[in-house]
Structure 1
Amino acid sequence: MAVAYLGSITVDCDDPAVLANFWAELLGGVIAASSEKFVGVKLPHVILTAIRIPNYQPPFWPDQNPPKQIHLDLSVADLDAAQAEAVRLGARLCDYQPAPDKRRVLLDPAGHPFCLCLPRSP
């Protein structure tokens, strides 16, 4: 029996509105709450919150200084189409792609790495 459930995922940034709008558009969420310090995106099973951090520095990938700390793997049916849409919404494709035929590594507008992945077989 689970003791808890995942209520939200919070990502640091310097501009919560820009980051939250990116994730809302990419994942089909809606802005549910906002202030000067944070913006929350309601998704079907979780809230994604972008929070303003003073002197925020984005992670560098694949280098680890500063470390990425967390990243999201998003399952998609078509890598090329999903990549094009993510870039249109403000993501940047990383130069280093360890397995581009299975997944694409991108950076969100605040510099957090995330992967667009083909579904895994059971």
Structure 2
Amino acid sequence: MTVGIGALQCVVLDCPDPRALARFYGELLGGEVDRPDPRWSLDDDWSTLHAASGGLVLAFQRIGDHRPPRWPDPSAPQQFHLDIEVHDLDRVHGEVLGLGAVPLDLGDGTRSWRVYADPAGHPFCLVRH
């Protein structure tokens, strides 16, 4: 293992409503929304999720003219995506829809992953464990 120049502090997602997207991912991944942290200030333009697993922090930044990616359209690339491991794709499908996710590519039922968009339009994959 090599030592890098820096350490990953958080992953930041641009969006129109930071707190709403933090709550979406909080329900999806578990963890604490807007936990006080000396590394940044929390306000209407910045929200965080300290995820339940492994200390990962997702941050959400308000962008006034946010234009979501259009998966899989290369003229508006996905910019990044999260892979989220689950045990039962069918059961979790209904849960993420209930949280506000939108299915983008559910496949043919034989592959081990499905693509969704979060409420701000960022793609993410549910991947069978």
TM-score by length of 2: 0.84
> Is this contact kept in 2: 1:6–1:46, CA < 8 A?
no
Task: Provide the C-alpha distance between the structure 1 equivalents of 2:18 and 2:28, rounded to a whole number of angstroms.
Answer: 15
Deviation at 1:100, TM superposition (A): 4.1
Deviation at 1:99, TM superposition (A): 5.8
Provide, for residues 54-90 of structure 1, a one-character-per-residue CA deviation record: whole Å limited to 9, x for no partner: 2110000111222111001111110011111111111
**Which ranges in structure 1 are unaligned for 5 or more consecutive residues?**
none
Q: Which amino acid aligns with 2:83?
A: D
1:45-56 equivalences under 5 Å are 45-56=55-66
Aligned residue for 2:18?
16
1:70 aligns with 2:75: no
Aligned residue for 1:39?
47
TM-score by length of 1: 0.88
Q: The residue matched to 1:84 in structure 2 has which SS? A: helix
Q: The residue matched to 2:27 in structure 1 has which SS? A: helix
**Which ranges in structure 2 are unaligned for 5 or more consecutive residues?**
37-41
Task: Provide the C-alpha distance between the structure 1 equivalents of 2:7 and 2:64, rounded to a whole number of angstroms.
Answer: 29
Q: Which amino acid aligns with 2:25?
A: W
Task: Provide the C-alpha distance between the structure 2 equivalents of 1:64 and 1:29, rounded to a whole number of angstroms.
Answer: 33
The percentage of aligned residue pairs carrying the same residue is: 38
1:107 aligns with 2:117: yes
Task: Provide the C-alpha distance between the structure 1 equivalents of 2:124 and 2:108, rounded to a whole number of angstroms.
Answer: 14
Structure 1 stretches of at least 4 aligned residues deviating more than 3 Å after TM superposition: 96-100
- Answer with 20-29 or 61-70: which moved more: 61-70
Task: Provide the C-alpha distance between the structure 2 equivalents of 1:100 and 1:111, rounded to a whole number of angstroms.
Answer: 23
State the aligned residue count.
118
Task: Provide the C-alpha distance between the structure 2 equivalents of 1:52 and 1:42, rounded to a whole number of angstroms.
Answer: 18
Aligned residue for 2:27?
25
